[in-house]
């Protein structure tokens, strides 16, 4: 039983390395437009200023800035395009920010946390940070940027979580990178108002993370 719990805990850490986001530094190099316009989800391992490991994902979306932004603040539908989020409650919401409580059960673990989401530049950038609950710190950001192609925008996601315990960095990032690509495909389909059939997230087999 103990082995199963430890396996479930590690699985949860891998999964949460993606779904619980943190503000990091902007990419130094410019985007690889040929790959992005071909539909790739470019995900890389990064660190923030404090050395916390995380993930940055970039992908293009054929939609208006208003449409993309509306999805980022569409809390009612979060569980549909972020399937790992099983429940949430908006505790407070205003023009410049929202405070949201999330519940994300993974394997044998149950994670509950409250995030403060700041609308730094409406239509362009929002950030979030942990107020209470699971983990030592949680912060993150979504950005919407222009591209050289008319009618197509670039979405940039950054995710960093301080677990608060000794967990192998490579173990967390390996799962997070895979989840970031899956998330990008699913989120783009939702934003572009396409059927999510075929974009269902594949459950990760716990022992595969150790390969």
C-alpha angle 96-136-207 in degrees, rounded to nearest 5:
115
The model's confidence at residue 81, banded by pLDDT at 50, 70 and 90, is confident
Q: Distance between CA 155 and CA 133 in Å, rounded? A: 28
C-beta separation of 139 from 128 below 8 A: yes
List C-alpha distances in Å: 148 to 30, 56, 61, 64: 12, 21, 13, 14
- What is the tens place of the pLDDT at every residue in 122-170? 999 999 999 999 988 889 999 999 999 999 999 999 988 887 765 555 6
- Residue-level pLDDT at 54: 85
Higher pLDDT residue, 137 or 83?
137
Which segments within 62-152 are labelled E, that is strand? 87-93, 97-106, 109-121, 125-133, 137-146
pTM of the model: 0.79
**The dihedral formed by the CA atoms of 75, 111, 55 and 62, expressed in degrees to the nearest 10:** -20
Q: What is the per-residue pLDDT for 3?
A: 52
The β-bridge partners of 10 are: none
Bridge-based pairing state of the strands 109-121 and 97-106? antiparallel
Q: Comparing C-alpha atoms, which of 87, 66, 67 is closest to residue 75?
A: 87
Q: How far apart are CA 127 and CA 115, in angstroms?
A: 10
Question: pLDDT-derived band of residue 27, with 50, 70 and 90 as boundaries?
Answer: very low
Task: Tell me the C-alpha distance between 11 and 17, whole Å.
Answer: 10
Beta strands (DSSP E) in the chain are 42-47, 53-61, 87-93, 97-106, 109-121, 125-133, 137-146, 153-162
Q: Indicate whether 107 pLDDT > 90.
A: no
Predicted local confidence at residue 201, as pLDDT: 47
DSSP 60: E
Pick from 18-22, 62-66, 176-180, 182-186 the range whose average pLDDT is largest. 62-66
Q: Which of 21-25, 36-40, 196-200 has the lowest mean pLDDT?
A: 21-25
């Amino acid at each position: 039983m103990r082995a199963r719990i430890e396996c479930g805990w590690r699985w949860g850490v891998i999964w949460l390395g993606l779904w619980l986001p943190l503000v990091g530094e902007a990419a130094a190099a410019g985007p690889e437009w040929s790959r992005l316009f071909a539909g790739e989800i470019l995900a890389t391992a990064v660190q923030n200023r404090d050395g916390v490991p995380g993930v940055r994902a970039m992908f293009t979306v054929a939609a208006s800035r208003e449409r993309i932004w509306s999805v980022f603040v569409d809390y009612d539908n979060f569980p549909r395009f972020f399937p790992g989020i099983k429940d949430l409650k908006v505790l407070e919401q205003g023009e410049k920010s929202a405070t949201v409580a999330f519940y994300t059960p993974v394997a044998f673990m149950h994670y509950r946390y409250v995030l403060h989401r700041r609308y730094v530049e409406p239509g362009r950038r929002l950030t979030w940070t942990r107020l209470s609950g699971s983990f030592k710190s949680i912060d993150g950001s979504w950005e919407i940027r222009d591209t050289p192609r008319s009618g197509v925008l670039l979405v940039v996601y950054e995710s960093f979580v301080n677990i608060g315990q000794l967990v192998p960095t490579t173990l967390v990032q390996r799962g997070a990178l895979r989840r970031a690509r899956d998330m990008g495909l699913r989120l783009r389909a939702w934003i572009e108002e396409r059927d999510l059939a075929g974009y269902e997230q594949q459950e990760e087999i716990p022992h595969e993370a150790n390969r």
